[in-house]
Chains A and B, each alone.
Chain A
Amino acid sequence: MSLTFSLVLYILLAPLAAFAIVIFLGKRLPRGGDWVSLFAIWSGLALSLYLFFTRMLAHYDPGYIETLSFNWLIWGDFTLRIGIALDNMAIMMLVVVTLVSAVVYLFSVGYMHGDPKYSRYFAFLCFFSFSMLGLVLADNLLVIYAFWELVGLSSYLLIGFWHEKDSAANAGKKAFIVCRVGDAGMFIGILLLFTTLGTLNLHEIADGVAAGKLAGGLLTITGLCLFCGAIGKSAQFPLHVWLPDAMEGPTPVSALIHAATMVAAGVYLVARLFVILTPDASLVIAYVGGFTALFAATIAVAQNDIKRVLAYSTVSQLGYMTMALGAGAYMAGFFHLVTHAMFKACLFLGSGSVIHAMHHVMNKTGSHGDVNDIRNMGGLKRHMPLTFLTFLMATIALSGVPLTSGFLSKDAILGGTLAFAMEHPRNWLLPFFGFAAAALTAFYMFRLVYLTFTGSFRLGPEAERHLRESPAVITIPLVILSTLCFFGFYSLPAFSPTTPEGGWFAHLFPNPPRAYEVSASLHGGLDPAVAGSSPTMISDLHIEKKVLRHEVSTAGAAGKATSEGVPPVSMGEPHTEVHHDEIHHRAHNAAMIISVLVAGLGILIATLGYFWGKISPALWQRRLGVFYRGMFRKWWMDEIYDATIVNGTLLLSRISRWFDLKVIDGIVDGSAYLTRSYAFIEGWFDLYIVDGLVNLTAWIVGLWGRLVRLFQGGQIQRYILYALAAVGLFIILKVV
C-alpha cells in the first residue's frame, strides 16, 4: 500500500479507534479521555493538510485520482468491490471535515466541561468524524449509503445527548426518521442504478451512463431518487423540519454536524452524482434548492432563538448550494459548501460562546430564563469582544459582503444561476429565489448581531456584571474559523477579490462534463463503441468533451435529438463556447452588482430597525399580519406533518393491531369456538342420541329377554304344555 493510502487509512480509522477507547475506557482515563479524541482528530487534520498540499496542490491536476479497493460481498458470479477513491474533492472534504472537527473538539473541551457524560460525548464525536470521513472517501454508492446511515446514527446520538429532556429525545428521533424517509428514496435510486448498470462504483456509474446504458426518463427518475437522500440529509424542503429541532443538541454538535459537515453530505452527494444528472433532474434539483433557500430565509427572519436563526440560515444556505448544482454551477455549489462550513461553524461556535456566557449569568442570578433567546441578550460586545468580532466577521461573510469568502462563493452561485436563467429564460424564478434569499440573509444576520451584541443588556445591569468572555479553548477556535472567512485563502494565486476564477479552487474543481452530454455527443458524432468499451475516467471524459464540443456545435441539433434526455433548453440552439462564456461573464458581473445591492439593502433595513431604531419592528410585525405569523410559526410545517403523516401512521398501526386482534384472531378463536361448540353438540348427540339408541337397543333386547324369561320356568310339564299348545295352534292354523 502506498504512503498516500496509509495516511488516508490513518485519518479514517484514528477517530474510530479513539471512539472505541473512549467509549469503553473513557471513565477510567484522566480527563475522561478527551485527549485521545483530540489527538486522533488533530493528527488527522495535520495529515489531511499534508495530503492537501502534497497531493492536491502539488499535482494541481483537476483529474487527480488514486484508488484502493478490495472485494467485499460476493453473490453468484458477482463481486462487489469497495474501496477508497482519493481525488481532489475527497481531499478537500477531508480537510473541511477534520478542520471543523478539530476546532469543535477543542471548543467542546471548554463548552462541555463538567458534563456528567463528558467522555461519552467525545466518543460520539469521534464516531461522527469517522462516519463522515468514510462517507467522503468511499468510491461506491452502497458504501456511501452505509456511512450516510452511520452519520445519521451519530447525529441521532448527539442531538439526543441530553435525552433526559423530552425535547432532545424527540428531536433526535425526528432527525433519524425524517432522514430515513429520504434515505429510502435514495436506496431505491441505488437499486435502479445497480439493476441497469450492474455496478455501484461511482466512476463505473459515470462511464455506464456516458455509454448510454441508462438514459432518458429512467435516468431522470434515478437521479431524483438519489436526490431524495440529499433532501433528507441536507434538510431541503419538504424534509427540512428536522434540522431546526436538531438544535436541541449541544451547540458544538450543531456547529460540527448540523452546520458544517453532515448536512453538507447531501450537497456532496449531488456533486458526486453531478455527472449523471439529466437536465430534467437538474431542473427539479435547482428548484427544490432555490425554493428552500428563500423559504428557510423567511422563517429565519422571525425567530428569536439564536440557534434557530442560524439553523434556518443553514437550511437556506444548503438550498443555495443545491440550487447551484441544479443550475449547473458545479464549482460554485461545492465552493459554497467549503466556505459555508467555515463561517457557519464559526457562527454556531460563537453562539455557543454566547450561550455559555448566558448560562453563567443565569446560574449566578438564579433565574431560569431561556439562554438561547436573543430577547434576553443585548450589549454583549462590551463584555465579549472576541466573540463579537469573530461573530461579526462570519456574519459579514454569510451576508456576502465583498472581500469575504462568502462573497466569492455566493456570487459564484448567483452568477451561475443568473447565467442559467439567461440561457433558459423561462427559469427566471431561480435567480429571483437567490437574490431574495440573499437580501433576507443579510437582514436576519444583522438583526441577530444587533439584538445580541449591541444596545443594552436586557436582563438588567445586575445580571450584566456576571457576563464574561469565554476561555481560550472557546475563543481560539472562533479566531481560527473567522480568519478563514477571508477571501484570499480561496482565490490564490490570482488573488481576485471578486471571483474565484483564477484561484486554485476554481482550477481544481472545474465543471465536469455531464454524462448525458457525452453520451448524446457520442451517439451523434462518434462511434458509440469508443465510450462503451473503454473504461474512461472522469478526467478522460473531460478532455474528450472539450474536443467534442466543436463537433456538436457544428453538427447542430441533429445529433442531440437522438437522446430524449436532452431537452432543447440545454443544447437546442447551436451555440459556441465563446457565446456560452460571454453569457457567463455578463451574468457574473450583473450578479455581483445585484448581490451587493440586495445585501446592502438587507443590512440597511436591519440597521434601521434594530440599531438606529428608525423603523419599529413591532409595527411591521403587525402590518405583515398573517405573513409574519407564518414566518414565526415556520409556516406551520410541523403542525401539518403531525396532523397528516405522524397521526396517519399511528392510525394505520392501530388499525393493523385491531385487525390482528379482532379479525384474524377473531377468525382463529371463532373457529376454535365453533369447533368446541360442535364438539359439545356432538357430545350431547353422542350421549343422548347415539348412546340413547344403543341403550334403547339394549333395553329392547333386555325387555325381550325378560319377556322370554317368563316362558323359561324350568318345569318340564310347562314346556310340554307349551309344545302341545304350539302343535294345537299349528294344526288350527293349517287346517283352517
Chain B
Amino acid sequence: MGSLTLLTFIPAAGAAIVALLPRDNPKLVRWFSILVTGIVLAIAVSLYPQFDRGIVGIDQEATFQFVEKGAWIPAFNINYFVGVDGLSFPMVLLTALLCFLCIPASWGITKGVKGYHALFLLLETGMIGVFVALDFFLFYVFWEIMLLPMYFLIGIWGGPRRVYAAIKFFIYTLIGSLLMLIVMLVFYFNVRDPVTGANTFNMLHMMSQANHGGIMSLNHVRVLLFFGLYICFAIKVPVFPFHTWLPDAHVEAPTAVSVILAGILLKMGTYGLLRISYPILPDATHSFAWFLAVMGMINIIYGAFCAMAQKDLKKLVAYSSISHMGFVMLGMSALTDAGINGAVFQMFNHGTITAMLFLLVGVIYDRAHHREIDGFGGLANVMPRYLGITSVAFFAGMGLPGLSGFISEAMCFIGAFPVWRTLTIISIGGIVITAAYLLWTIQRMFFGETNPKYADLPEINGRELFTLLPLAAIVIFLGIWPHPILGLMNTSLSYLGELVRSVAPL
C-alpha cells in the first residue's frame, strides 16, 4: 500500500476503531485520535524530503509523485488514481497538521465523544482524499464524504442555532455538489481515453484538449461548464454572494470544526478551480479570469467592511476569512507566476493563520462563555501571554512583514498588478481596512481598564499553547524564510499558469 493510500485511509480505519471503543472512556478515545492523526502527520512529513520540487505534475501523469493507480469500477472506466504535485502536496501537509492540532483543541467536547472523534477522523479521510484524487469520480466521492461528517459535527455539537447553520451549510454545499456531478458527467461522456478510446473519469485525460469531443468542443457549452464548476467551488471558497453560510456555520460550530472549516474546507474551493477548472477548461478560464479577479476584489473589500461591523469575535474572524480568500482569487486570476504561486501560498498561510484565530476565539470563549468583543476590555494585564499569541495571529492576518501572510499577499498583488491594475489598487485599500478592524478589535478586547468581571480569568494553558505555538512558529518561520513551502509549488504552478496563458481565450 502506498503512502497516499495510507494517509487517506488511516483516519477512516481509526474512525471505525473509535466506534468500537468503550463508551465510558472519553480519555482513551481522545488519545487514540491523537495517535491516529499523529501517524498521519508523521507520514505526511516523512514524504516532505522525498518530494521532488523539480517536476511538474498538473497534467502529466509521469511527473506526479507517490502515484497509485488501479481499476476500481472497470465498467465505467473509474480508477483508484491518486498522486500529488506542487499544488496538492502543500495542502496535504496543511490538512495533516491542522487535523492533528484539532484533537487537543477538542478536549472540551464532553457530549458524544466517540461520535465526535469518529466523524472527525472520517472528515480527515475525505479532505486528504480530495487533495490526492486524480480521478474525477474519486474526487467527487471524497468531496461528498467530507460533507456529511461536517454536517453532523455542526448540527450535533454546535451552538444554539446549530440546526439552522448546519442545514444552510448542507444545502449550499449540496447545490454545489449537484452542479459538479452534472459537469463531471458531461466531461465523462465527452472525453475519450487516448489509448482505449473509451469514456474516462481520468482528470489528466480531461486536461488534454485533444481528448475533448462532442458537446465539449462547443464554446458556449464550455462556458456553461466553467460557470457550473465556478458556482460549485465559489460556494466553498466562499465567494460573494454565496458566502453567508460561512459566518453562520462558524458561529455555531465547535472550535476545532471551525478550524477545519476555515483552515481546509475553504481551500477546497480554490483548489478545485486550480486543479479542475484551470487545466481542463483553460480557454474559458482565460476568458473569464477578469471575472475571478472582480470577485476576488469584492471579497477583499466587502469581507473587510463586514468584518469591521461585527460584534461577535468569531463572526469577525469568519468575515476576515472571506476577505483573505479574496487575495487567493485575485492572485490566481492573474495567471502570472507570482500571482498563482502567491495564491497557493496564501491558501497555505491562511490555513495556519485562520486556524490560530479560531483557536484563540475558542480559548476566550471557554473562559468567558461569550464572544462579544465589547464585552471584554483590559484583558492585556490579565492574560498577557494570550495577548502575545493573539497579536501574532492578528498581525499575520493584516499582512505584517516578518509573518507569512505578508509574503503571500504581496505576491498576489505583485502578480495581479500588471494584469488587473485598477482592481489591484482597490484591493490594496483592503489592507488598510483590515488593519483598522483588527487593531480596533485588539483595543476593545485587551486595552483600557480591566473589566472586573474578567479580572481573574485563567491564563492560556499548556494544552492550548500546544495547539497554538506550532502554528505561530510556522507563521513566523515562513514569514522570514518562505522557501520550504513556496519552493514546493513553484515548478507545478508556474507550469499551470503557462498552460492557461498559452491557450487563446474563447
Contacts and interface: CB of A to CB of B under 8 A. Distances in A.
Contact of B435 (A73, A177, A664): A177
B432 A180 contact: yes
B413 A187 contact: yes
B378 interface: yes
B190 interface: no
B361 interface: no
Contact of A657 (B241, B309, B381, B483): B309
A164 B483 CA distance: 40
A672 B244 CA distance: 14
B425 A173 contact: no
A184 B429 contact: yes
Interface in A130-183: 142, 145-147, 149-150, 153, 156, 160, 163-164, 166, 169-170, 173, 176-177, 180-181
B138 interface: no
Q: Which of B306, B482, B486 has the most CB of A within 10 A?
A: B306
Contact of B168 (A163, A166, A194, A668): A668
A75 B496 CA distance: 13
Q: Which of A73, A160, A195, A655 has the most CB of B within 10 A?
A: A73
Contacts of B243: 664
Interface stretch (B281-289, B349-357, B438-446): B438-446
A181 B401 CA distance: 16
A75 B494 contact: yes
A642 interface: no
Nearest to B435: A180
B436 to A, nearest CB: 5
Contacts of B437: 653
Interface string B367-380: 00000000000101
Contact of A142 (B410, B431, B482): B410
A176 B439 contact: yes
A360 B227 CA distance: 72
B302 A656 contact: yes
A78 B337 contact: yes
B420 to A, nearest CB: 11
User: A-side binding surface: helix, strand, loop or mixed?
Assistant: helix
Given A184-B432, A654-B309, A656-B302, A78 B448 contact: no
A124 B387 CA distance: 15
B308 A150 contact: no
A462 interface: no
A581 interface: no
Nearest to A182: B432
Contact of A653 (B308, B337, B443): B308
A665 interface: yes
Contacts of B106: none
B400 interface: yes
Contact of A75 (B307, B341, B435, B443): B341
A191 interface: yes
Contact of B436 (A77, A145, A150, A649): A649
A197 to B, nearest CB: 12
Nearest to A166: B448
Contacts of A146: 401-402, 406
A28 to B, nearest CB: 15
B432 A177 contact: yes
A171 B414 CA distance: 32
Contacts of B450: 164
Interface in A645-677: 649-650, 652-657, 660, 664-665, 668, 672
A660 B381 contact: no
Contacts of A75: 337-338, 341-342, 411, 415, 486, 490, 494
A188 interface: yes
A191 B436 contact: no
Given A177-B432, A184-B429, A187-B428, A74 B486 contact: yes
A713 interface: no
A160 B443 CA distance: 10
B449 interface: yes
Given A184-B432, A656-B306, A160 B447 contact: yes
A660 B406 contact: no
A668 B448 CA distance: 40
A164 B379 CA distance: 10
A76 interface: yes
Contact of A649 (B302, B380, B433): B433
B239 to A, nearest CB: 12
Nearest to B448: A166
Contacts of B429: 184
Interface in B326-370: 336-338, 341-342
B8 interface: no
A411 B487 CA distance: 53
Q: How large is the interface on B (under 10, 10 to 19, 20 to 34, 35 or more residues)?
A: 35 or more
Contacts of A668: 168, 244-245
A74 B338 contact: no
Interface string B294-306: 0000000010011
Contact of A76 (B244, B378, B447, B490): B490
A169 B448 contact: yes
A73 B482 contact: yes
A147 B432 contact: no
Nearest to A671: B171
Contacts of B168: 668
Interface in A628-657: 649-650, 652-657
Contacts of B428: 184, 187-188
Given A170-B443, A180-B432, A660 B306 contact: yes
Interface string A272-294: 00000000000000000000000
A585 to B, nearest CB: 45
B306 A150 contact: no
Interface string B475-487: 0000000110011
A188 B425 contact: yes
Given A195-B417, A650-B308, A656-B309, A664 B432 contact: no
A191 B420 CA distance: 12
A192 B422 CA distance: 12
A74 B487 contact: yes
Contacts of B305: 652-653, 655-657
Q: Which of B428, B449, B487 has the most CB of A within 10 A?
A: B428
B149 to A, nearest CB: 23
A156 B400 CA distance: 13
B459 to A, nearest CB: 14
Contact of B341 (A76, A147, A153, A660): A76
B378 A195 contact: no
Nearest to B442: A173
B494 A164 contact: no
B78 to A, nearest CB: 34
B395 interface: yes
Interface string A514-530: 00000000000000000
B407 interface: yes
A164 B309 contact: no
B505 interface: no
Contacts of B337: 75-78
Contact of B401 (A145, A654, A660, A665): A145
A187 B425 CA distance: 9
Contacts of A654: 309
B310 interface: yes
A74 B306 contact: no
Chain A to chain B: the 3 pairs with minimum beta-carbon distance, closest first: A76-B337, A146-B401, A657-B309
25 contacts: A74-B486, A75-B337, A75-B342, A75-B486, A76-B497, A77-B337, A77-B494, A78-B337, A149-B406, A150-B400, A150-B401, A156-B439, A160-B447, A166-B448, A173-B443, A180-B435, A181-B432, A187-B413, A187-B431, A652-B305, A653-B305, A653-B307, A656-B309, A657-B305, A660-B306
Given A146-B402, A176-B435, 18 more contacts: A75-B337, A75-B342, A76-B490, A77-B494, A78-B338, A164-B449, A170-B443, A173-B440, A173-B443, A187-B428, A191-B414, A191-B417, A656-B302, A656-B308, A656-B309, A657-B306, A657-B310, A660-B244
